[in-house]
Chains A and B, each alone.
Chain A
Amino acid sequence: MDRPASGVSYQRFPRVRIRELKDDYAKFELRDTDASMANALRRVMIAEVPTVAIDLVEIEVNSSVLNDEFIAHRLGLIPLTSAAAMNMRFSRDCDACDGDGSCEYCSVEFHLAARATDSDQTLEVTSNDLRSTDPKVCPVDQARAYQHALGGSEPYDTATAADQRGILIVKLRRGQELRLRAIARKGIGKDHAKWSPAATVTFMYEPEIRINEELMETLTLDEKQGLVESSPTKVFTIDPNTQQVSMFFTFFKCFGVLFSSYYTTM
């Protein structure tokens, strides 16, 4: 890239440091850059990272209390493991299947067949009943349960017995049946929120607070205690021995902190 000799852009290169990293939660710092970069990162994470979600549903039998499009909508919102999404093609770009989304390069097929038996108990049709033709793409909670059963990862903090049953799609009474075939495709959050991989992405500035030690020395102990107590969130603390006011937290000298929660694995 050629630069004119007269003007050199004062380009800053940002730095990244990870604070916390779990499968569905990441907290990291972004330094030496502007809010516009952090915001652009946040916007792209929400709207433009491709994921896989159910897009086309063919219902063979539905005698449940919910109508067909209701169930199709709910199926679309089920999060699927999308590690393979980057290798897939968008259906409209696929040249192997005329773009109608039925080949292995651009789509994944799911089957669901549930029939409430003649017992009086309500049958809950959940995401665990969705059978995938590609083991790499399956509902996220199925993948989590599988991982947990293998003993690979620690269970998520929010995993309870209820969550192990899967995401509820519809409840069936005795004699009701649901049978359908669903096709999942690659997409981005801009088209429909079901394709957004992020649950929430936020960022905020962390302030840099320095205490003027000289002025602090001129205060009496009562005044120092008044200062410490006046803060609604505990920002300062006072050392009882030396009567020195210091930070309760050690704030990072950073330009911005980006928090994010992803629903799919990073």
Chain B
Amino acid sequence: MEHGSVTDSTASSFSIMEEDHTLANSVRFVLNQDPRVAFCGYSIPHPADNKVNIRVQTTGDPAKDVLKDSLQDLMIMCQHVRGTFDNAVSDFRQNKTAEGMDIDLNKKK
């Protein structure tokens, strides 16, 4: 749900249902990386309601598009983490069977 103004599409608040800090904080981080964003933040109106408000103010582009792009970026980032993690696990397992995991920067306790 978007609360914006008909005249000014560069600034609007979005109300997302069934979400919490897990999504909102990550989206806020990705929005901050985007140079088109002038201001962004999120709030949870009441902890008992499963709702989150995200405010986006941009430097000229419609806020809706900027948010959509940021969500896409977040999705790609998460997919990347998933792939990287799978690779890291299979590498670790291979190295482990060969010899003990030999980390060069190992903590010497």
Binding site for B on A (CB under 8 A): 1, 3-4, 6-19, 21, 28, 30, 33-34, 36-37, 39-41, 43-44, 47-48, 248-250, 252, 266
A13-B80, A18-B88, A37-B81 given; name 9 further pairs at CB < 8 Å: A7-B34, A10-B33, A10-B34, A14-B77, A36-B28, A40-B25, A44-B22, A47-B22, A249-B107
Q: Contact between B29 and A37 (Cβ–Cβ < 8 Å)?
A: yes
* Closest-CB distance, B49 to chain A (whole angstroms): 14
CB-CB under 8 A for A16 and B33, given A36-B28, A40-B25, A44-B22: no
Q: Contact between B26 and A36 (Cβ–Cβ < 8 Å)?
A: yes
Q: Contact between B77 and A18 (Cβ–Cβ < 8 Å)?
A: no
Question: Is B108 interfacial (CB-CB < 8 Å)?
Answer: yes
Complex CA gap A252/B105 in Å reads: 7
Q: Contact between B88 and A16 (Cβ–Cβ < 8 Å)?
A: yes
Give the one of A17, A47, A48 with max B CB within 10 A. A17
* Closest-CB distance, A179 to chain B (whole angstroms): 40
* Closest-CB distance, A152 to chain B (whole angstroms): 14
Q: Contact between B88 and A28 (Cβ–Cβ < 8 Å)?
A: yes
Q: Contact between A16 and B105 (Cβ–Cβ < 8 Å)?
A: no
- Provide the B84-109 mask, 1 if CB < 8 A to any CB of A, else 0: 11001101110010000001011111
Question: Is B21 interfacial (CB-CB < 8 Å)?
Answer: yes
Across the interface, name the chain B residue whose C-beta is closest to A247: B108
A-B contact pairs, 9 of them (CB 8 A): A1-B76, A8-B35, A9-B34, A9-B70, A10-B33, A14-B77, A14-B81, A37-B26, A249-B109
Which chain A residues border B84 with CB–CB below 8 Å?
14-16
Which chain A residues border B88 with CB–CB below 8 Å?
16-18, 28
Q: Contact between A18 and B22 (Cβ–Cβ < 8 Å)?
A: no
Across the interface, name the chain B residue whose C-beta is closest to A254: B105
Q: Contact between B105 and A250 (Cβ–Cβ < 8 Å)?
A: yes
Which chain A residues border B106 with CB–CB below 8 Å?
250
Complex CA gap A39/B20 in Å reads: 12
Which chain B residues border A28 with CB–CB below 8 Å?
85, 88
* Closest-CB distance, B62 to chain A (whole angstroms): 11
Q: Which of A7, A13, A19, A34 contacts B35 (CB 8 A)?
A: A7
